[in-house]
Amino acid sequence: MVGRTALPDLAFGAWISRPAHPFPFASARRPGVAPTPTSQETAMNESDSNEIVGPHRYRNAEAMLAHGERVWLRAADSGLLNIQVDHESNDRLIVRDTGHEFTLLCSCSYLGLNHHPKIIEGAVSALRKAGTTGLSIAEVRVRLNLLVELEESLRDLYGAPALPGVSCSVLTAGILPLIASGHIGGGAGGPRVMVFDRFCHFSMAYIKPICGDEALVLNCPHNDLNYLEDICKKYPRVAYVADGAYSMGGRTALEGLIDLQNRYGLFLYFDDSHALSIDGPRGEGYVRSRIEMNPLTMIVGSLAKAFGASGGVAMLGSERDFQFLYRNAGPVTWSQNMDVAAVGACLASAELHRTPELGQLQAKLQRNIDVFDQRFPTRFSGNGLPIRLIDVGDEDLAVRLSEQLYRAGYYCSAVFFPIVARGAAGVRVMLRADLAADRLDHFCDAVESSMASA
């Protein structure tokens, strides 16, 4: 329970540290809680509170909020929430009322593609060409050729059938329960034991209760291949749910997982949102650029981070899954899919991923990461990911540092318990390819002087 527990900040965005357990206080339920009543019409017995309170197997909002809200309110008190801006560039956001300008060091647009003229114009031309925002009908019935073009473009880019979705987390919400029930990944062997890496992103952990209605759900210590192998030995069908690149440093244990897949038929589900576009010759991400797809592997990612557009994508391990998920993956089917503007932005970004500009942007990002690492060596130095933590230690000091940096023109977030361990507070920095060299230098200076004076 020590180390990164990261509860409340998980709600801040997909780039957050991973919880030791997404709801570490799950055991804080009332003593003597009764077994969950079924959802069927229940015989109306005496009401008592034990009957009303859920089992808190996977989550406990009360316990989470008891800690999370304190953190949020501290951030709000420091003026670091609900900042409303006009956009000039990621380096220049402007608060209208005060005229305060600042550089965003807390954006997942790692390559700066969110303001790339080609992507903006891709959205515009799609809207103009299609003449509609969307057909407002389930895509599995009737869909625009524009969306089909995107499916084909992403299929080509990633070398896998590519299912688009309104967001990465919506894809996860629709797909994971069907992996749990055994309907993805072939075979008629019935449900799969679902093993969630303890650090996997909240968007996957959130779906545990739904998976848990289909199959046994277990938590695995982070990257613990021995633990996972024991589960594979015990159960005939197992799926492992993890991030590809973990945003607080480190990656999934890819080689060992492939080995387990080969030996035990382990299904692998990765959210590689933080590596998409910034890793791989065509921005395939950490996982896809290192493995071949197969029916027991699925990778999802956000198209709204380094990709620079909107929506999400699932790279599928088999052709059959493409139609099957379009028909059956819950929120993927009845949630609206990407609208026309998002499709157009994605098409333009996918095209850009095929040009030398992608490599140039990846290199620019890497240079900025290197510059920062030279000024502020941290435990993350050299890991290739754009997220860094300036260790401060004391949490009040971390908040003061974050405030000072914001006043100096840089938005980056203070992180403290329970985001990180007690006494290990710091300031999180997210680097970008489009962060101007002089801004970065000045930011590093500001960090140094703020730390000296704080």
The only residue of 6, 19, 25, 58 in contact with a copy of itself, by rule CB under 8 A = 58
Which residue is it, tokens 């985001």?
419
The only residue of 74, 78, 118, 135 in contact with a copy of itself, by rule CB under 8 A = 135
Kindly write out the interface string for residues 159-188 of this chain, putting x where it contacts a copy of itself by CB under 8 A and - elsewhere. Answer: -------xxxxx--x---xx-xxxx-----
User: For residues 110 and 372, which CB has a smaller minimum distance to a copy of itself in the complex?
Assistant: 110
Residues 306-335 that bind a copy of itself (CB under 8 A): 308-310, 323, 327-331, 333-335
Residues 190-219 that bind a copy of itself (CB under 8 A): 190-193, 196, 201-203, 206, 208-219
Residues 232-261 that bind a copy of itself (CB under 8 A): 234-237
77 binds a copy of itself (CB under 8 A): no
- Interface with a copy of itself (CB under 8 A), residue total 138
Distances from the Cα of 417 to the Cα of 23, 73, 81, angstroms: 14, 14, 18
226 binds a copy of itself (CB under 8 A): no
The only residue of 4, 5, 6, 10 in contact with a copy of itself, by rule CB under 8 A = 10
Which residue is it, tokens 């059956």?
328
Least Å from the CB of residue 291 to a copy of itself: 26
80 binds a copy of itself (CB under 8 A): yes
Write out the two tokens for 48.
Answer: 């008592």
CA 389, CA 395: separation in Å to the nearest integer?
A: 13
CA 183, CA 199: separation in Å to the nearest integer?
A: 25
Residue 254, burial from CB neighbour count under 10 angstroms (0-12, 13-18, 19+): middle
Q: What residues are paired with 269 via a beta bridge?
A: 241, 298
Which strand ranges, in their side-by-side order, compose the sheet holding 410-411? 92-95, 101-104, 410-411
Give the pairing of strands 297-302 and 312-315. antiparallel
Contact range with a copy of itself by CB under 8 A, out of 32-40, 253-261, 390-398, 443-451: 32-40
Write out the two tokens for 136.
Answer: 């407002």
108 binds a copy of itself (CB under 8 A): yes
Q: Helix, strand, or coil here: 94?
A: strand
269 binds a copy of itself (CB under 8 A): no
72 binds a copy of itself (CB under 8 A): yes
- C-beta atoms surrounding 449 within 10 Å: 12
**Amino acid (one-letter) located at 443:** F
The residues near 432 (Cβ < 8 Å, ≥ 6 apart) are 90, 104, 105, 107, 109, 110, 111, 112, 365, 368, 386
363 binds a copy of itself (CB under 8 A): no
275 binds a copy of itself (CB under 8 A): no
User: For residues 218 and 444, which CB has a smaller minimum distance to a copy of itself in the complex?
Assistant: 218
User: For residues 291 and 386, which CB has a smaller minimum distance to a copy of itself in the complex?
Assistant: 386
Least Å from the CB of residue 83 to a copy of itself: 5
CA–centroid distance for 359 within its chain? 23
